Structures are given as C-alpha cells and as structure tokens.
Amino acid sequence: MQPGAAGRQPRGNGLPRPPGVRRQGDLPQEQLEALYSEEKWEGRAEARPDLPTLTRELRTVRHRGFAINAGRTETGVTAVGRAIRAPGERAEAALSISLPTVRFSREKLPQLVAALALTARDIELDLAHQFSPNP
C-alpha cells in the first residue's frame, strides 16, 4: 500500500470515493459486476467491496444526486461529491468538497450540496456550449 499525504496510509477499502461513486452510479449492473468481479480483484480479495452493498449505495447516490464519504477512505476527512454530466446525461466527471470531519455537520450538508449543484451546472452548461453543433 502506498503512503498517503503526510505519510499516512490511505484506508483503501475498495470502495470508490465520492466522485467515483457518483460516476459508477451511471454504470449498468453488468458493467458494475464486471468491474468488481473476483478475477479483477485476485490477490486483494479483502479490499473487494460487497457487490450487493455497493449496488444499494449507488442506488441511494443516484436517488439523492450526491455521495458522502465520512472517513471511509481517510480518517478525519468527510467529502461530498456530485457528478458532472456532459451532453447525453452520462456522468463524465465529478467534483467534490472535502473538509475535516470535525468541521462537517448535517446542518451544513444542504449548503454544500447546493454549492456543488451550482458549480456542476455551470460546468455542464460550458460543456454543452462547447460541444454544441451551433457555437
């Protein structure tokens, strides 16, 4: 395992981080199963996520429109992520806000999600304009 920032060990539990979760939420179940097949995780089975649990989490992320990672991949850090959709509605990228968990509260969540939504909207509008047949 590679050391993380400041020599810390990342908590690589096999679960995608918020932007990854948000982007994987768009994958068809067959692709998700292929991505997390036992063969692809050979030699690191302990890090392979439980597919039914991951599928439920992705369903929740799709429904809410954002993902939260509260200390899952790095102790003391909470991140909220949202997809960036290019024309065609598929998640092509994602953005996230990360902060120390001690500064995060559920009361701040609507404000963080709104900031992500506005930023994502602006990026999506730029992408739509950039790829528009009539610039």
Q: Percentage of residues in the chain with pLDDT exceeding 70?
A: 79
Is 3's pLDDT higher than 60? no
Indicate the residue type of 44.
R
Measured CA to CA in angstroms, residue 70 lies from 9, 11, 86, 93 at distances of: 17, 12, 27, 21
Nearest to 97 by CA among 63, 67, 127, 76: 67
In this predicted model, what pLDDT tens digit does every residue of 60-93 receive, in sequence order?
Answer: 888 898 999 998 888 999 999 998 987 777 788 8
Phi, psi of 36 (to 5 degrees): -110, 25
Give the mean model confidence (pLDDT) for residues 16-24.
49
Q: Percentage of residues in the chain with pLDDT exceeding 90?
A: 32
The superfamily (CATH) of domain 16-130 is GAF domain (3.30.450.40)
Written as six digits, the tokens of 47 are 């890090």
**How far is C-alpha 27 from the geometric centre of its chain's CA atoms?**
13
Instruction: Report domain extents, the chain.
Output: 16-130
Is 22's pLDDT higher than 60? no
Q: Provide the 3-class DSSP secondary structure of residue 91.
A: strand
Is 123's pLDDT higher than 90? yes
Evaluate if pTM is beyond 0.85. Answer: no
The answer to whether the beta carbons of residues 68 and 78 sit under 8 Å apart is yes
Number of C-beta neighbours around residue 83 at 10 A? 28
In this predicted model, what pLDDT tens digit does every residue of 29-56 receive, in sequence order?
Answer: 888 888 888 888 889 888 888 888 888 8
**How far is C-alpha 127 from the geometric centre of its chain's CA atoms?**
20
